[in-house]
Structure 1
Amino acid sequence: MRDHLEAIDHADLGKWKRPITPWLLRSLHAVVMRRSRPDIAGQFRTVPVAIHGSNLDPPDPILVSELVESLIHKWDQTKGHPVLVGSLIHAQLMAIHPFVDGNGRTGRLLLNLWLLRHHYPPALLEPDQRGAYYSALQAADMRDDLPITQVVFQSIERTIDLTERILHPPVDPPSGSS
């Protein structure tokens, strides 16, 4: 159930026309973390962190604010297919690891906001996709962007398939007819 909570209100976020900014990123983080870690909700990290399962050493905390600002500016200026651009910027944000906790959930919310604003459905990451997602982020850390783009495209396809199953459920034949 918790895995699906990050998808709540995505449609409303897609209608919100304010620009993507570091303030928006911190605001999303505040919503994600307000119950479990209110002490860090909405705040960029001020301590070094390690990314579980990754060899990547995130940047020094003193650089986080500047790196996020630069990345968001880059995101706004980058031309290309929205899914490709969103995937690449998402991976770069995950490498910055701007928060002590809640980076993935917040980053996926921001990615989905980006997708919705560009008229794509959200990329809902299912629990069975987590391994591929983490591997794809590690590949992106090594400058191989194809896996993260594939994971995001597959997640969008799953969202479309789920939506179609909900809107058009299979029709059971009437019972008792011969």
Structure 2
Amino acid sequence: MSVIYSSFDILDKPWWKLHFDERNTEYLISSVKHFQQAISSAVDNESNELFWKGYIDLHRERYLLECVSAESDIDLTIGYVQKLLKKPGFLRMFYRRIFAKCLKPDRSSRLAKKVQNLYNVIIDIVPSIFFPDPPIDRFTPGFAKQLHRQIGNGLIKDAGQYRTQFVMAAQDNFVYMAPDLINDRMDELFRQCREKFGKTDLQLEEAIKYGACFLAYFLLIHPFINGNGRVARLLLSYLLSRFTVVPLSLYTGMKTRDVYLQCLREAQWYQDSFKPSALAGFILECIYMTSYNICVVMDVDIRN
């Protein structure tokens, strides 16, 4: 059964947009291509590599802010993220080692660990360049387990291992895929992704549709006991890296989590078929906003 396909339309008039926003799918795709061409030209013409590397470092911090905010429905700031990324001093580390087994970590320390783990993963899998094109052969279930092991370090029991029990969606009366099916379904999902995303003539619109299929089906499988959302975002960024300039956080601002979850519901429960049209529209909007923000922040000329 093919779960990665493109024979559907991206939702042209998303229900979450304001009534006066007339930008449709064609406009967004055309704009993304224009922005990315402008960014590519600016990077090629800029002799100061540190200038662009500085932005990539800044975006990594922004990715953390947006990713954690969208997943946890909390409001972070860049300053707070930067504070969380600072390494603790010797006395604080000594204190943690001595009392780690006696004290239950508070919410702020868990959040700091979550941010630090996620940052380490980004550094590991995303090079400090625009438009990275990582090898698709690396995209395997083992790679997903590696990412989960890294983001779950010190936070999630049995990080890097598939779950062995049934789990339900937190906000819906829905049971994810049975544990005994996970291994085979993950193998097939990643095999299809390597086949589809490995095409040399892959275009933006088709890649977004494939990405929406992957995201919805991966989260339907829900292979891990916890941390599936973070792993899914990282894997989607990996798949779309040649089209998204930098890692994609799936964040559009206020109410992002509500929109994202509703798009997933529509993708997974679309009558009798699997059709992630709204989710594809949401991903496209995120790519558009990410590309546009790069142009604005880095003063890239997009007039022509």
- State the TM-score, normalized to the length of structure 2: 0.50
1:48-63 superposed matches below 5 A: 48-63=166-181
Asked if 2 retains the 8 angstrom alpha-carbon contact of 1:28 and 1:42, the reply is yes
> Which moved further from structure 2: 8-17 or 20-29?
8-17
Task: Give the counterpart of 2:154 among 7, 17, 35.
Answer: 35
Partner of 1:82: 207
Task: Give the counterpart of 1:19 among 138, 145, 149.
Answer: 138
Asked if 2 retains the 8 angstrom alpha-carbon contact of 1:43 and 1:99, the reply is yes
Distance 1:156 1:119, change over 3 A: closer
> Which moved further from structure 2: 40-49 or 123-132?
123-132
Task: Give the unaligned 5+ runs of structure 2.
Answer: 1-64, 70-114
Q: In structure 1, how many angstroms separate the alpha carbons of the residues matched to 2:160 and 2:175?
A: 22
Q: Which structure has the bigger radius of gyration?
A: 2
Task: Give the counterpart of 1:119 among 231, 243, 247.
Answer: 243
AA at the equivalent of 1:33:
G
Partner of 1:146: 277
Q: In structure 1, how many angstroms separate the alpha carbons of the residues matched to 2:288 and 2:177?
A: 33
Partner of 1:3: 68
Partner of 1:162: 293
1:103-118 superposed matches below 5 A: 103-116=228-241, 118=242
Asked if 1 retains the 8 angstrom alpha-carbon contact of 2:244 and 2:291, the reply is no
Q: In structure 2, how many angstroms separate the alpha carbons of the residues matched to 1:144 and 1:124?
A: 22
Task: Give the unaligned 5+ runs of structure 1.
Answer: 170-178
- Higher RCO, 1 or 2 (CA under 8 Å, sep at least 6)? 2
> What's the C-alpha RMSD, in Å, of the aligned pairs?
2.4
Q: In structure 2, how many angstroms separate the alpha carbons of the residues matched to 1:15 and 1:30?
A: 23
Q: How many residues align?
A: 167
AA at the equivalent of 2:286:
S
- State the TM-score, normalized to the length of structure 1: 0.82
Q: CA deviation at 1:84?
A: 1.2
Q: CA deviation at 1:88?
A: 1.0
